[in-house]
Structures are given as structure tokens and as C-alpha cells.
Chains A and B, each alone.
Chain A
Amino acid sequence: GESVGLHLPTLSVQEGDNSIINCAYSNSASDYFIWYKQESGKGPQFIIDIRSNMDKRQGQRVTVLLNKTVKHLSLQIAATQPGDSAVYFCAENMNTDKLIFGTGTRLQVFP
């Protein structure tokens, strides 16, 4: 069935280092992918998205890479800061506007 999964449940990084969060998706028909950040007690917050006709997209300190061949998505955060500590979800969409989320990766930033 449809699924979006994450490789690592928890990622610990030192402040100032770069973080890479990975995600595997199973449905090759998905054409839109989004990364969300969720802090404790809050709803998911949009970080960055990418359409299936792109391989890479950059935002402010964040980059999303899409490898359609192996159905893999990654989120790179440059110069990770304590405020980046949260759970990160990737989500996919197949032109239905219904988002399918993975289980999330917790990013912990230590000084």
C-alpha cells in the first residue's frame, strides 16, 4: 500500500553541524513532496517542498533532494541551531491533495 517511511527515528547533531534527514517513499506515482517540522504541542510547520520534476530545491538553510530512481527524499539543514530541534516529517501527495505522512525523525541539537 501507500507508505512514507523514515530511516532513523532520532538524529543527534552538534550545534553548527549540518543535519541530513532521510525519507523513503513507496509510491512512484507521487508527484509532490513536502517536509514539515513539528515542535512539541504544535501543529506541523511547512519547511520546503519539491515537485517530482525537480531533483533539488533550496531554501533558507534547508535543501531538499529527491531521487526518484530509488524513491528517496532527504532534508539537509545547514549550520543546525538549537531552534531546529523538533520532529521532522516528510509527506507525499499524488495529485489528490491528501498528504501521506511518515512516522517522523526527532532531531536533537546539542551544544
Chain B
Amino acid sequence: DTGVSQDPRHKITKRGQNVTFRCDPISEHNRLYWYRQTLGQGPEFLTYFQNEAQLEKSRLLSDRFSAERPKGSFSTLEIQRTEQGDSAMYLCASSFKGPPVNEQFFGPGTRLTVL
């Protein structure tokens, strides 16, 4: 257990529905990251926050995806009008920005299945 928690662990939804995932980072970490991982592949970067500011978004993050971190603590990732291609593991990671490195600690992930 890295100290990063995600909820839910599994989500099954029908195509076209909206889903929201939550990530609670390690409390003293000021950076929070979202990645997506499909079967047999490495995680792909989606977006990250420093405190409450969203600093970077991948081109993978289409208009149907939105992420927030309103108080600089937990974060939510929402997918609207889900598609079957959204089926994947959604991973959250957190780190503390500072030298020498920013080791990212990953949560267990939320596995999304879109039927």
C-alpha cells in the first residue's frame, strides 16, 4: 500500500453513461497525476496538478474527459458519454515537488469496463 487510494476499484458502465473516479493522494504531496493503462501496455500520461492548478493535459484527454482538484487534496476524473474505447485501468499517482527527484507513488487504479 503506497498511501494513494482510488475509488471505486472497479466500474462497469454502459456506453454513453458518465462515470467519475476519485483519487486521494498521500497527504503531504502537492502533485497529483492521472494515467491510463490498457492491457499489456504501460501507463499513458493524461494530466497532472500541482496543488489545485492543472498544469498539463495530454492530447489523449479528449473533451469528454475532465479532471479537477478543487482544494489541492483529492482529485476526480470524470468521463462523459463513455465509449468502449475508454475501457482501461485509470491510475492516479502523487509526488512531492522538490529536489532531487519527484518519485511518483501510484494508487491501485480504477478498472473501467464500458459495455
Partner pick for A32 among B4, B93, B101, B108, CB 8 A cutoff = B101
Partner of B43, one of A41, A44, A49: A44
Total interface residues in chain A, CB < 8 Å: 23
Residues of chain A within 8 A (CB-CB) of B48 are 97-98
Beyond A97-B48, A98-B56, 20 additional pairs, beta carbon < 8 A:
A34-B103, A41-B108, A42-B109, A43-B2, A43-B106, A43-B108, A44-B91, A44-B106, A45-B2, A51-B101, A89-B43, A91-B42, A97-B31, A97-B95, A98-B33, A98-B48, A99-B35, A99-B104, A101-B42, A104-B42
Q: Mark A67-111, 1 if CB is under 8 A from B, else 0.
A: 000000000000000000000010100001111111110000000
Chain B interface size, under 10 / 10 to 19 / 20 to 34 / 35 or more: 20 to 34
Q: Are B108 and A42 in contact (CB under 8 A)?
A: yes
| Chain B residues within 8 Å of A, Cβ to Cβ | 2, 4, 31, 33, 35, 40-45, 48, 56, 91, 93, 95, 97, 100-109
Is the pair A45, B102 in contact by a Cβ cutoff of 8 Å?
Answer: no
Q: In the complex, are the beta carbons of B95 and A102 less than 8 A apart? A: no
A residues near B33, Cβ cutoff 8 Å: 97-99
- How many A-B pairs with Cβ below 8 Å? 57
The smallest C-beta distance from A106 to any residue of chain B, in angstroms, reads 9
The answer, among A45, A49, A100, for a CB contact under 8 Å with B106, is A45
Q: Are A101 and B43 in contact (CB under 8 A)?
A: yes
Query: Which residue of B has the minimal Cβ distance to A44?
Result: B106
Instruction: Name the residue of chain A whose CB is nearest to the CB of B97.
Output: A97
